[in-house]
Amino acid sequence: MNSQNIQNRLNDKTRPMFTIGVTADLIGVSVHTLRMYENEGLILPSRTQSQRRLYSHSDIERLQCIRAMIEERGFNLAGIKGMISMAPCWEIKGCSKADQQICDAYHHALEPCWVVKTKGGECVDTDCTDCPVYTEVTTCHNMKTYLKEHWKHA
Please give the residue ranges that form the binding site for ligand SF4 (CB under 6 A).
Answer: 89, 93, 113-114, 119, 123, 126, 128, 131, 133-134
Whole-number minimum distance, CB 7 to ligand SF4, in Å? Answer: 30
Q: Residue 10's CB: how many other CB atoms inside 10 A?
A: 11
Mention every residue, 6+ apart, whose C-beta is less than 8 A from residue 33.
24
Cβ proximity of 19 and 48 under 8 Å: no
**Residue closer to ligand SF4 (CB basis): 24 or 89:** 89
Phi, psi of 107, rounded to the nearest 5 degrees: -90, -25
**Residue closer to ligand SF4 (CB basis): 23 or 85:** 85
CA angle 80, 123, 150 (to 5 degrees): 60
**Residue closer to ligand SF4 (CB basis): 24 or 119:** 119
Whole-number minimum distance, CB 132 to ligand SF4, in Å? Answer: 7
**Residue closer to ligand SF4 (CB basis): 24 or 112:** 112
Whole-number minimum distance, CB 119 to ligand SF4, in Å? Answer: 5
Whole-number minimum distance, CB 21 to ligand SF4, in Å? Answer: 27
Query: Which among 54, 65, 52 is positioned nearest to 138, based on CA atoms?
Result: 65
Query: Which among 87, 85, 92 is positioned nearest to 123, based on CA atoms?
Result: 92
